[in-house]
């Protein structure tokens, strides 16, 4: 990843093995150019303070006065007098989380988590079900009234460096509503809040409903929003042990064979020249790629301006977290090798495999080509390793390439087919004429 991508993914703070939480953003940071840097999720004016009269600009002549919210925070916003009642919620876990934030005192750390946590809960409640108007916010609220701002907040909250453990949000919500046994409620409303970021709009097939009913993203504790979103994408429970842990006790010869089998898939143009057909697989599991009899079926992928940031943060989380697979990384590497040019993107878009809202197809190709720079990845430790081996075995058969060349050159359009048929008929007639000429020469009497 380049520097911009690293800043977008937020992989830097997690390099020491401790996943960052929201208060990491409140530490002093060096000044950086304002080209792509986003600020903390904490709104700058949670506790409104009136400006002195000399600093308030006079309203323009004849301009209508904008309706202002009543003085004081709305009933759902956490005033400072409520902090002593909310502080015990995350204080039980604050020593463990505070190890990576030695510049903050315990009280400042807990207060920061409470303010950020209550703001996140307010977002979840307002965007998921109740609506911000029902929560007491005005139509001109600077945070909750702007539609574009909400989309940016969703993208910021999915960043790796902005994560707060869900058990902290669970305890804060329990204090707010006065019901301690509300485990899993925050996770459910969080999934509804991040639903617009899903990279697919397909519906479940009948064969997928059974496995979807068994899927439970809340099957483990200690999740944050990014890991919860990743589990909802993959529809998996707790991660199985990585393959290299299983292979560790195997013979050295087996490891050498695995190294020789490392291979990557070819791009779309090369696969088409070798006789492959790429078709759209109708499923909501965008990672569920299949191959059979020369047909590569890929689910539909929606690409918008936040897809790069989303995938970068998911890849960074998989690279940093010990008990995590590499499914998103495997998918990104697969698409990186599948797409080499804008022609490849155009072909996938024509067949409904990729739908994007970027400027042109070249930007999509550049997105995937730059996505996995400097990412450590082993193809043998991927869920797509078997599929890649099948695709490359089919690709190496010369007969498939010859047949594809024949179809492409002589059966690509109706005029080529007519020309081929006319040539065959002319060849047959020429052979018949030659035969009868030779026959009449040697057997004239017959």
Task: Compute the distance between CA of residue 185 and CA of residue 191 in angstroms, rounded to an integer.
Answer: 10
Q: Which residue has the tokens 């090798």?
A: 337
pLDDT number for residue 314 = 92
> Above pLDDT 90, what percent of the chain?
11
The span from the CA of 438 to the CA of 446, in Å, is 13
**pLDDT: is 241 or 387 the higher one?**
387
Using alpha carbons, list the distances in angstroms from residue 394 to 381, 397, 398, 401: 21, 6, 9, 10
Q: How far is CA 91 from CA 97, 98, 184, 223, in A?
A: 10, 10, 20, 18
CA angle, 244 then 245 then 248, to 5°:
80
Per DSSP, the residues of 88-110 read HHHHTTHHHHGGG-TTS-HHHHH
pLDDT tens digits, one per residue of 391-418? 888 888 777 666 666 666 666 677 777 8
The per-residue pLDDT for range 341-381, each reduced to its tens digit, is 999 999 999 999 999 988 889 999 999 998 888 888 887 78
What pLDDT sits at residue 89?
A: 54
Q: How confident is the model at residue 312 (pLDDT cuts 50, 70, 90)?
A: very high
DSSP structure class, residue 10:
T
231 has a pLDDT exceeding 60: yes
Of 231, 388, 246, 403, whose CA–CA distance to 314 is shortest? 231
**Cα-to-chain-centroid distance, residue 62:** 49
Q: What count of Cα atoms within 13 Å lies in the side-chain half-sphere of residue 80?
A: 4
Predicted confidence band of residue 59 (pLDDT cuts 50, 70, 90): very low
Task: Give me the mean pLDDT over the 18-28 stretch.
Answer: 43
50 has pLDDT over 60: no
d(CA 252, CA 258): 10
Q: Describe the strand order of the beta sheet including 290-292 as a list of residue ranges.
A: 277-281, 295-299, 290-292
If we measure between CA atoms, which residue out of 123, 63, 118, 50 comes closest to residue 85? 118
Confirm whether pTM is higher than 0.75.
no
- Which residues in 213-315 belong to E strands, given as ranges? 277-281, 290-292, 295-299, 301-303
Q: Where are the beta strands (DSSP E) in 191-231?
A: none
């Amino acid at each position: 990843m380049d520097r911009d991508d690293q800043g977008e993914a937020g992989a830097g703070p997690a390099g020491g093995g401790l996943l960052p939480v929201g208060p990491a953003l409140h530490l002093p940071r060096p000044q950086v150019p304002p080209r792509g840097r986003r600020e903390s999720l904490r709104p700058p004016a949670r506790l409104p303070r009136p400006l002195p009269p000399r600093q308030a600009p006079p309203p323009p002549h004849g301009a209508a006065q904008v309706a202002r919210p009543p003085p004081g925070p709305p009933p759902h916003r956490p005033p400072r007098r409520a902090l002593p009642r909310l502080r015990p919620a995350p204080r039980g876990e604050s020593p463990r989380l505070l190890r990576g934030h030695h510049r903050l005192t315990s009280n400042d750390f807990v207060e920061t988590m409470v303010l950020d946590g209550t703001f996140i809960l307010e977002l979840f409640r307002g965007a998921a079900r109740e609506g911000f108007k029902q929560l007491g916010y005005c139509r001109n609220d600077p945070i909750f009234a702007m539609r574009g701002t909400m989309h940016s907040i969703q993208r910021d909250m999915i960043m790796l460096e902005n994560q707060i453990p869900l058990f902290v949000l669970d305890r804060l919500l329990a204090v707010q509503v006065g019901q301690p046994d509300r485990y899993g409620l925050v996770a459910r409303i969080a999934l509804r809040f991040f639903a617009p970021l899903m990279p697919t709009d397909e519906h479940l097939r009948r064969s997928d409903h059974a496995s979807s009913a068994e899927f439970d993203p809340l099957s483990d504790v200690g999740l944050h929003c990014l890991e919860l979103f990743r589990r909802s994408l993959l529809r998996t429970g707790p991660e199985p042990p990585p393959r290299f842990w299983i292979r560790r006790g195997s013979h050295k010869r087996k490891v050498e064979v695995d190294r020789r089998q490392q291979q990557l898939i070819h791009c779309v143009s090369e696969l088409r020249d070798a006789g492959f057909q790429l078709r759209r697989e109708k499923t909501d599991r965008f990672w569920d790629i299949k191959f059979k009899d020369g047909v590569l079926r890929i689910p539909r992928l929606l690409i918008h301006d936040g897809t790069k940031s989303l995938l970068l943060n998911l890849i960074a989380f998989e690279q940093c977290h010990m008990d995590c697979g590499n499914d998103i990384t495997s998918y990104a590497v697969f698409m990186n090798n599948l797409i080499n040019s804008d022609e490849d993107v155009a072909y996938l878009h024509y067949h409904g495999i990729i739908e994007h809202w970027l400027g042109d197809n070249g930007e999509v190709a550049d997105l995937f080509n730059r996505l996995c720079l400097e990412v450590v990845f082993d193809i043998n430790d991927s869920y797509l390793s078997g599929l890649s081996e099948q695709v490359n075995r089919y690709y190496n058969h010369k007969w498939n390439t010859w047949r594809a060349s024949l179809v492409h050159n002589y059966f690509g359009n109706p005029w080529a087919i007519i020309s081929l048929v006319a040539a065959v008929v002319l060849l047959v007639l020429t052979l018949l004429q030659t035969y009868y000429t030779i026959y009449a020469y040697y057997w004239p009497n017959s």
